[in-house]
Amino acid sequence: MIKDTIISHIRIVESDETRWVIQTNAEHLEGVASLAELYANEFGMGSLGRIMGLLHDKGKEKLEFQQYIRDVNGIPGCKNYTQKGKSHAYVGALMLKKYYPFIAPLCENPVMGHHTGLYDKGGLQEKENQSIPADVTPCEIDYKPDLPVWMRKGILAPKDFHHIVRMLFSCLVDADFIDTERFMNPASSDARGNKKSLAQLRSSLEQFLTKLSSSAKETPVNKLRQSIQEQCKLMAEGEKGFYSLTVPTGGGKTISSLVWAINHALHNGLKRIIIAIPYTSIIVQTAAVLKHIFGEENVLEHHSNTDPEKIKDDSLRHKMRLAMENWDYPIIVTTNVQLFESMFSSKPSSCRRLHNICNSVIILDEVQTLPTDFLQPIVDSLQTYHKIFGVSVLLTTASQPILSGVIEGCNPRARFTAIDGIREIIPDEFCLHDKLRRVDLCIDNTSRTYDDIAAQLTQHDRVLCIVNTRRDAKEIYTRLPQEGITLHISRMMCPQHVRATIEHVKQALSDDSNTIVRVIATQLIEAGVDIDFPVVYRQESGLDSVLQAAGRCNREGRMDRGVTHVFSLTAERALPRGSMSDANNARLAMGNDHDWFSPQAMTEYFRQLYCRKETFDKKDMAHYLYSPNAMYIATAAKEFRLIEDNGFSLIVNYGNSPQLVTQLKTEGPSYQLMKKLSMLSVTVHERDMKKMTEVGLVEEVIEGVYFVPDRAQYDDHVGLCTDSHWMEEILIV
């Protein structure tokens, strides 16, 4: 049987290494076609999904590929192949272009790149300079072209086309991964099930809210939060589109946005809720709240741990791709980086989740943090996802940016039309910025040193200090007297450590004793973290960040007024050039005579910020992607980086990470294991990675996954130390 069978995959039975279980190529093609058709039906192109599925691995019929797959699985007598003979994706792409030229502009690139990734126009043309092998049988498919609603209405624009190609690519690669996983790793495949519907989850939310309401004190703030939730439920019955929820900090925005999203999704037949957040630390906290309400099996928190596309070994790269999530959950909590870089990616592991964004609600939490350098392609992508893929978008913040009308910078090219028809959920008559005003803002532009700020902080028994960089946080923390509870929080700590520290802070603040509680943190704590200090210090920054920090002050209104101090550290060093200094300069340009908490002040701040911009499309995505006949998808994907230096993710020696690393070495990656390891990882700059590697501090566990095994390199107070403790000890001796 093995001799004559056209094989797609082989699984070796663990109990008998000489026994092979075979998935035929015909079985795989049909399995992928059925799934890709199902996925693409979500946006009206099911027949295209089916054609891609039936053609994508036709090249495996080649004799050379059949020799290769037998050889790598230990079947004797199968050595007659070349490295080039392993290649097979091009065959299906050539057949698609030959037999179905009408849909080739949409489907050829996804089929050609379903292993390696989407190509630029030139790279695709180069691949086309091959011929269909004679030993591959022709494929006749009963094809009836889809005419989606958006195509019949004639609303397709040039800027939409690349998203459609990428969405079809998503349908194909995820179908390929899922069908392969079902055969190769049935246990891992089975673990993807057991998730509830949004209708079931709404019942869980309602039970949670009832319990929360019954235990909450009847304070003005709690009554206002209840009114906001009721307004969100009322406005949820609108049609799909763009909505905004502008609620000052302390108004219960996170829960209220969920109330709107889950009711809006059910009203419009949408499938899932995707919450995109700017900071990993907020994901950890938000996901913990959501898992408490809905159950861990229904909530995915997704932030990066490793990039499978950097792995050279074919087998390991494929296993790692299978370990990456495809967002088939009813509720996803992720980062802005993951969401938008996936929308502009060219790689299978990132793009495979895109089709699960179709017919969903996207909540952009803290929307004011969207990077202005990429604002135009981000807004354009959101418009396409609404128009073509049936998405509703909720923009939530305490500091709503300007995202409607015409947005203009400081030159004629820095101009684009943003979103029309954003519907605000909370009407002006609610006057939330007045009713939730609980803080006085004191701004001091005098240049200060680390010692100056540390001295000021020691004058308060309970105080939070938020700074702009990890270095600043560590410098001030080390200058504070270690009395009472003095804590440091930054991204040099792994997410599990951050979560434990935030819980420690909350517990300490809930204690009615006179225990000293002083916390030094980076801006990761200023949004979405439910803590309440009587006094907050915030290093100078943009007005949106200053107000977010003020939201950690007198949050529950236990005092008549809390105080938030804004200070400068320019006596130590200037703010880094770029977005951070631009935001601070926009605030400074407003002068001092403002009601800083008013919507009018926020509008003026964003006008000041935008008018300083040379471009809202820093990497010129319009040039690479907005011409349907000359798209450069691979190049655009490399250029679209919301964070220029993504760095390296290092698993640190904290908690049970050594045991999990041992499991990774022996069992290889699975999505459950990689999820656990992501909670025990810290991202460092390339220069720090190089420095640590040179002195032997970093171990490569498997290709592309790194571990710092020395426990002394991870400090229980400040997290990962990039300088070698061995070198310090030698110098001391």
- Over the stretch 347-394, which tens digit does the pLDDT of each residue have? 998 999 999 999 999 999 988 888 899 999 999 999 999 999 999 999
Residue 322 has pLDDT above 60, yes or no: no
Q: What CA–CA distance (Å, rounded) separates 45 from 260?
A: 30
Distance (Å) of CA 425 to CA 229, 238, 263, 264, 638: 10, 10, 13, 12, 37
CA-based R_g, the chain, Å: 27
Share of the chain above pLDDT 90, in %: 56
Question: What is the reported pLDDT for 314?
Answer: 65
CB atoms within 10 A of CB 681: 28
Mean pLDDT of the region 98-115: 94
**pLDDT band (50, 70, 90) for residue 731:** very low
Q: Taking a C-beta distance cutoff of 8 angstroms, is the pair 632, 124 a contact?
A: no
Task: Enter the tokens of residue 315.
Answer: 């087998």
- Give the CA dihedral 320, 10, 14, 184, nearest 10 degrees: 40
Mean pLDDT of the region 697-701: 94
Q: Taking a C-beta distance cutoff of 8 angstroms, is the pair 168, 49 a contact?
A: yes
User: Which domains can be identified in the chain, with CATH numbers?
Assistant: 7-190 (no CATH), 198-430 (3.40.50.300), 438-596 (3.40.50.300), 648-732 (no CATH)
Q: Which of the pair, 217 or 395, is modelled with greater confidence?
A: 395
How are beta strands 20-24 and 485-489 bridged, if at all? unpaired
Residue 80 has pLDDT above 80, yes or no: no
Helix (H, G, I), strand (E, B) or coil at 268: helix
CA atoms within 13 A on the CB side of 698: 26
**pLDDT band (50, 70, 90) for residue 495:** confident
List the single range of 144-158, 479-493, 583-597 with lowest mean pLDDT: 144-158
Residue 570 has pLDDT above 50, yes or no: yes
When the pLDDT of each residue in the chain is averaged and rounded to a whole number, the result is 88
Residue 152 makes CB contacts below 8 A (sequence gap 6+) with none
φ, ψ at 151 (rounded to 5°): -80, -40
- Over the stretch 614-630, which tens digit does the pLDDT of each residue have? 999 999 999 999 998 89
**pLDDT band (50, 70, 90) for residue 50:** very high
CB atoms within 10 A of CB 666: 7
Question: What is the reported pLDDT for 663?
Answer: 94
CA-nearest of 387, 386, 358 to 170 is 358
Question: What is the reported pLDDT for 732?
Answer: 32
CA atoms within 13 A on the CB side of 587: 20
- Over the stretch 402-450, which tens digit does the pLDDT of each residue have? 888 888 888 888 888 889 889 999 988 888 887 788 889 999 989 999 9
Q: Taking a C-beta distance cutoff of 8 angstroms, is the pair 233, 259 a contact?
A: yes
CB atoms within 10 A of CB 574: 10
How are beta strands 415-417 and 406-408 bridged, if at all? antiparallel
Mean pLDDT of the region 37-63: 95
**pLDDT band (50, 70, 90) for residue 185:** confident
Q: Taking a C-beta distance cutoff of 8 angstroms, is the pair 42, 217 a contact?
A: no
Q: What CA–CA distance (Å, rounded) separates 212 from 289?
A: 13
Residue 94 has pLDDT above 60, yes or no: yes
Helix (H, G, I), strand (E, B) or coil at 20: strand
Q: What CA–CA distance (Å, rounded) separates 434 from 552?
A: 17
- The secondary structure of 138-149 as a DSSP string is P----------H
Q: Which of the pair, 81 or 21, is modelled with greater confidence?
A: 21
Q: What CA–CA distance (Å, rounded) separates 77 from 58?
A: 24
**pLDDT band (50, 70, 90) for residue 727:** very low
Question: What is the reported pLDDT for 11?
Answer: 86
β-sheet bridge partners, residue 567: 539
Q: What CA–CA distance (Å, rounded) separates 722 from 728?
A: 12
Q: Taking a C-beta distance cutoff of 8 angstroms, is the pair 275, 332 a contact?
A: yes
Mean pLDDT of the region 462-486: 94
Cα of first residue to Cα of last residue in the chain, in angstroms, is 70
β-sheet bridge partners, residue 394: 243, 363
Q: Taking a C-beta distance cutoff of 8 angstroms, is the pair 10, 20 a contact?
A: yes
Q: What CA–CA distance (Å, rounded) separates 302 from 316?
A: 21
Q: What CA–CA distance (Å, rounded) separates 509 from 533?
A: 8
Residue 645 has pLDDT above 60, yes or no: no
φ, ψ at 21 (rounded to 5°): -110, 130
- The secondary structure of 356-385 as a DSSP string is GGTTEEEEEETGGGS-GGGHHHHHHHHHHH
Tokens 């349908």 found at = 171
Question: What is the reported pLDDT for 556?
Answer: 76
**pLDDT band (50, 70, 90) for residue 199:** very high
Mean pLDDT of the region 52-68: 93
Mean pLDDT of the region 37-51: 95
Tokens 């190509």 found at = 119
Mean pLDDT of the region 726-730: 43
**pLDDT band (50, 70, 90) for residue 730:** very low
Mean pLDDT of the region 318-337: 77
- Over the stretch 533-561, which tens digit does the pLDDT of each residue have? 999 999 999 998 998 899 889 887 778 88
Report DSSP state, residue 413: T
